[in-house]
Each structure stands twice: as structure tokens, then as C-alpha cells.
Amino acid sequence: MAENTDVVVIGGGYAGVMAANRLRQRDDLTVTLINPRAAFVERIRLHQLAGGTHSAVVEYRKVLAEGVALVVDSVARIDAAERGVTLASGRRVGYDYLVYAVGSGGADPSVPGAAEFGHPIATLEDAQRLRPVLDAAPAQAGVTIVGAGPTGIETAAELAEQGRAVTLVCGGALGPYLHARGRRSVAGRLAALGVTVLEGPDTKVTAVTRDAVRLADGRELPSRVTIWTAGFAVPGLAVRSGLSTDALGRLLTDETLTSVDDVRIVAAGDSAAPSGLALRMSCQAAMPLGARAADTVLSRIADERPETLNQVFAGQCISLGRGAGIFQFAHRNDTALWFHIAGRPGAKLKEFVCKSIVKHLADEAAKPGAYGLHRVSGGADRRRRLEAGPGGTPAAAEQAA
């Protein structure tokens, strides 16, 4: 091992920043964070950016540890054999270890007209483009939101609270993750805000035009602004680089988050598929995965055996405008419980969570190694699922061990 070790982190989101900060526990590491933006994006606030209630960005100096070099660029390709990455600018950056934390974005919609006339909200640039579109539309103009996961629900509530005429097209169930009691609570809040909620299989969108949304049951909904929140996808960097991925393009790793192809590549966040059994895409998973990825790199540098993934979930937190929210509690295996906190207490809890996430990153920047939530026990159910075979096969983990 060379006297100084170069670690490159690709992606400056929740997982990447946590990993980069944590790696600063060792003074003999040169840590470089490569990210296409010069500021940290609070992705869980992008609906607020669209609604004009928050900027959804934080300066990196507030969340990134001193000594981490920030390179504002995109990675075009990873050359694992040569241990280097080629940037969009043409520059090449070498590494001894690589943390792959490229995150996720909106999936390209296959519905006719959706890509042309639907407005995504999965990235900072998406939300920034959507904001003036909403500002230009009359207050009484119909806004249709496609997709009833957390992003769709939060965007619908945010805009309806401002007096917008909002229709939420679920294409199935409202808030599929939620327990029935939590779902009723969310439905009640949306109804109070005047949101029209369309549920069921017949509400799948079949086409989007400039001023309408067509459903599977033949209905055509007038829509001045259509916002598309259905589905997420990961960047194709791993696929382009010839690395093993799952069907969605997430980097395949073992349970230490180490690539099944290369012991010097470790993945974290939405773009990781440990043992082919990826965790729910969320900042709740991303930060512990970032910490675990950093710990794996640090263990390998120290010639120690890395610990395996032991992820625990608390639930799902959804804002319902500025005046209400819901925290849906869950079992540690990430299935919803009957218990939830709603209304104004739910809104306060959601805001507390949003601020706490930034604080966790800032605290890790100030004192690398301080974060410990990735060590909370929660892996028993995951181990059972891995042992179950197809769908959660441990084969990838065994191959890379």
C-alpha cells in the first residue's frame, strides 16, 4: 500500500457526502468528491422548491469535511482495470479505492407524450424548470400530478395548499407503502386541501398531451401543467463502464457493499444493489449506506475484514403542505405499522427529520466517525431474505467474498 491512498467518491448526495466525510478519519487519505453541481441538493425538499417555499440547496462548505476536494464535473466512464475515471471535461482522475454513489433520478416515461409534455421533479434542475412553469399558469388552472408515492403526494399537497386546483392520478393505490390507517389520514388531508385523488388500476395514464392527461378507463383530464413523479432510475455509468449491475442498472455488490467485479470499488445509496437485494431508494437508506461504504474502504486499507450490511428502517415521512404531515412508522424490515403521527405534529416531525439529515452530514464533517446509525441492528430479516434464494440470492455475496 502506498504511503498516501487516493479515494474517489462519485456523487455528492446523501450517500456520497456521508462517505467522503467519514473517510477523513485517516490523515493519509486523499479524498476527492466528484459531483456535477457545486452545491448540495436537499432532494427531499424539491417539492418545496417547485412550490416556492424552500431553495432545496445547501452550500457544500456547511456539510462537507475540510480536506475533501470537490471536483464539479460528471464522470463519463470508470476504468476499473486502470483504476481511474474519465470526466465529461476529458480530465482523468486516478484512484486506489472508488465509492460509487451516483444516486438516482426520474425514470424516462414510456407513456406517449409524457416526456414531451410532463414535467419531472426528480432533480434540482427539474424542479428549477418547473417553478416558472407553475408561476406562469393562472392560479385556477388545473395541475395534474402523475404518481402517488411520497414525491407525488408531497407535491400535490404543497401546491394545493397554495390554492392550486390539483388532481393526483395514482395509477393504483395512494401511497402504496403506507398502512391502511396512514393512507386514510393522508387521503383526508388531501381532501381537506381540495386535491382530487384518482385511485385504482383504471387510472393508469395512457397518454399525455399539451393540455390533457388520458387514463386507461378512457377519461381525459384537462391539465394546464402535468407533473410526472412516477418511477425512479439510476444513471447508466456502471453499465457503460462494464461493471455488473442488476436489471435497473444498480451496481451489484456483496453485503459489505463491495463490487462483485472489483474489491476496490464500493457502492452506496440508490445506485447500490447489495446481493441483488437493493434497499428502498431513500435518504433514510442512503446515509447509512454511505457510512457503511466508507467503513468498508477504511477496513480494507487497514487490512481488516469489513463488516456486513445491517440496515434498519424507521418508516416513511411525508409532508402534506406546510401545515401537516405524516410519519408512518415501520417494522425494521421496512413494512408499515399501524401507528403513525399525523397533522401538525407530523409536519413538525417531518421538518425535524429534514433538518436532522443536514445536521448528521455536518456533524460527520466536523467529527469524522461520529455517525453511528448504520450500526443499529436490523439485519435479521435481510439475512432471511438472502437465504430464501431467488430475488434475494446470496450468490453475489459469496462470489465476491
Model confidence at 268: pLDDT above 90? yes
Measuring CA to CA, which residue among 250, 361, 316 is closest to residue 14?
361
Average pLDDT, the chain: 92
How far apart (Å, rounded) are the C-alpha atoms in residues 230 and 235? 17
Residue 187 cell numbers, joined: 387521503
Q: What would the mean pLDDT of 374-378 be, rounded to a whole number?
A: 75
Which run of H or of E encompasses 205? Answer: strand 205-208
Instruction: Give dist(CA 107, CA 113) in Å, integer.
Output: 14
pLDDT band at 379 (very low <50, low <70, confident <90, very high): low
Which amino acid is residue 91, in one-letter code?
R
Q: How big is the CA angle at 310 (ends 306 and 315), to the nearest 5 degrees?
A: 150
How large is the angle between the packed helices 14-23 and 283-301, nearest 10 degrees? 30
Predicted confidence (pLDDT) at residue 400 exceeds the cutoff of 50: no
27-65 pLDDT tens trace: 999 999 999 999 999 999 999 999 999 999 999 999 999
Q: What is the model's pTM? A: 0.92
pLDDT at 25 over 60: yes
Q: Quick: pLDDT tens for 117-132.
A: 999 999 999 999 999 9
| d(C-alpha 244, C-alpha 254), whole Å | 12
Q: Cα–Cα distance between 48 and 191 in angstroms, integer?
A: 20
Assess contact for 123 and 327: CB atoms under 8 A. Answer: no
Higher pLDDT, 4 or 6: 6
Helix, strand, or coil (residue 175): coil
CA distance 237 to 104: 11
pLDDT of residue 389: 60
**168-215 pLDDT tens trace:** 999 999 999 999 999 999 999 999 999 999 999 999 999 999 999 999
* Residue 376 per-residue DSSP state: S
Helices (H), 137-199: 150-161, 180-192
Residue 327 pLDDT exceeds 70? yes
Q: Residue 298 is placed in which grid cell?
A: 477504511
Q: Which three cell numbers stand for residue 42?
A: 436537499
- Map residue 276 onto helix, strand or coil: coil
Q: Of 360, 361, 346, which is closest to residue 315 (Cα–Cα)?
A: 346
Percent of the chain with pLDDT over 70: 95
Q: pLDDT value at position 394?
A: 34
Confidence of residue 398 (pLDDT cuts 50, 70, 90): very low
Q: Find out whether 320 and 328 touch, Cβ atoms under 8 Å.
A: no
Residues 277-296: tens digit of each pLDDT: 888 888 889 999 999 999 99
